A and B are shown apart, each in its own frame.
Chain A
Amino acid sequence: MRLPPVAAERIVLIVLWTIAAITVGVLLFIIAFILAHGLPHVTWRFLTDSPESMGREGGIFPMIVATGMVAGLAVLIAAPIGVATAIYLTEYTRETRVTAVIRFGADCLAGIPSIIYGLFGFVFFAITLGLGLSVISGALTLSLMVLPTIVRTSEEAIRAVPYAYREVSYGLGSTRWQMVTHVVLRSALPGIATGVVLSLARSIEETAVVMLTAGSALRLPTSLYHSSRTLSLHFYILSREGISMSMAYATASVLVLVVLGINLVAYWLMRRFVASGGIR
């Protein structure tokens, strides 16, 4: 049965817009559900107290600190190294088979399941290097996990800078390094920053890796060698074990708001990148 094209289009449009509506609906439902159940319990005390009786009462302050330490340290380690690597690969080497292989390798490593990084971190950092279940084990493992992504996104951002910019810079007599910092990096910075910010969001929401490397202790970590529990892991444990649903929802609310906020920042940065004439 061949439908006349106009009728076919009408039906298709209904289907497509329904799909769009369902998608938006699901997203709003999830966020609304979590926030509706959780926000009432997110008080100032909740954010600044320590958990009592396995998390049934009290607050999540140590978890917030732990998340900041683990994710922050991971990005702090990975970002400079990743950006430097990207700069080296694009500006200081020619396009050879080796660089193509490196690029492919970075793409693969960026796509590997995070649990494999957890495996590696557990056996290598926690056990072999003797760092134990600790903030530093978690941070080092996470930094390895986000490193390929930062290298690739920085590389894309740098390559998107029009060659003309570089020519002009050389024409004015700059050295390569001056050209890189004053011209290329300035233009590519929003793109690079987007990659870094997205890596931060990924580090914060990652659960399996921190479970295996940073552990799940409830105390406030005051040293890099202390084990500690991140927000996402705390939420996972609270909800899985049925310890306290209200606490779980509250933790989830904080987690969702933080990660959404970071993603919004990344999105805004990306808009600036495109607007400043970055790519297509």
Chain B
Amino acid sequence: MRQDNVIKAILMAVAFSAILGLVLITVFIFKEGMPIILRIGGREFFLSSDWDPRAGRFGIFSMICGSMMVTAGAMVIGISFSLGLAIVLTQFSPPRLTAVLKPVIELLAGIPSVVYGFMGVVTLVPLIRIHLGGPGLSVLAASIVLGIMVLPTVTSIAVDALNAVPRPYWEGSIALGATRWQTTHMVMLRAARSGIVAAIILGMGRAVGETMAVIMVAGNTPAIPHGLLDPVRTLTANIALEMGYAAGDHRRALFATGVTLFVFIMVLNSIALVVSRRGARRTGAP
């Protein structure tokens, strides 16, 4: 028994120090970032699009717009492709093909983000510049690259959600004479709705957080983009580009940008949690 108590004490110490470390990060980021938000005022910081560190002006609205536009674009592509893939994998694909397709999609998650960015620069950006106009480095390029990058995440969670729908739902619908597609969109998707929404939300979180690939294909201009073909700067790119030489208030403003991202992810995760819990209760799935 004594051995058990000793071990429990050790494990508790380790667990607490791990949790402490993670709390430290959170506290650190907020401690560095909050004061300047409070000092400049929320309206100036979040709603002004005047980002001019040398003149002491820290309005991140352009970057917020940038992140939102790029994420929205990524989700359009991500959702349509991921849902399509998830439906194919769970409802229409013979098991042997599924066994091949699933690892292939998971392999997509294995390609480093810098490689995605590079491929975007080499193939996508010139295509956009020559055929669609603009400098090529654009919201569109970033959206496409990010959309491909969040595919594996959203697909696998959506697949799990669809697989968790109890079999009787499917069988009952087919027994009533519905086609597979009718069953899918009238029964299965509706039943798995909360899981799919959770998948989309988590995909959004990943898209917002991506840095390197976006820096390579987005153009990084600190102005609000007016269209898909305009260059854009996201919140993450802003931090990465300026961290090296920022000092004093400028660095604090970058931490404040970090706080913004942190809070945004927390909100997203909360929504995902509530949605999936509500869904689980409804279908009785685990």
Which A residues lie at the B interface, using CB under 8 A? Answer: 5-6, 8-9, 12-13, 15-17, 19-20, 22-24, 26-27, 30-31, 33-34, 80-82, 84-85, 87-89, 92, 102, 104-109, 111-120, 122-124, 144, 147-148, 151, 175-177, 201, 204-205, 207-208, 211-212, 232, 235-236, 239-240, 248, 252, 255-256, 259-260, 262-264, 267, 280
Contacts and interface: CB of A to CB of B under 8 A. Distances in A.
Interface string B8-38: 1011101101110111011011001000000
B202 interface: yes
Contacts of A262: 110
A255 B258 CA distance: 29
A260 B87 contact: no
Contact of A85 (B15, B178, B205): B15
14 contacts: A5-B179, A23-B85, A24-B104, A30-B111, A34-B115, A87-B11, A115-B211, A116-B261, A177-B4, A205-B114, A256-B115, A260-B110, A263-B106, A264-B103
A15 B185 CA distance: 14
B180 interface: yes
B181 A13 contact: yes
B114 A88 contact: no
Contacts of B148: 26
A70 B216 CA distance: 24
A106 B21 CA distance: 12
A85 B80 CA distance: 38
A234 B264 CA distance: 31
Given A16-B92, A84-B18, A207-B114, 18 more contacts: A13-B92, A16-B87, A26-B148, A27-B108, A80-B14, A81-B14, A85-B18, A88-B14, A107-B269, A109-B25, A112-B209, A115-B236, A144-B21, A204-B112, A205-B114, A232-B114, A248-B118, A263-B107
Interface residues on B, range: 35 or more
A27 B211 CA distance: 21
> Which of A16, A113, A239 has the most B CB atoms < 10 Å from its CB?
A113
Interface stretch (B187-195, B221-229, B239-247): B239-247
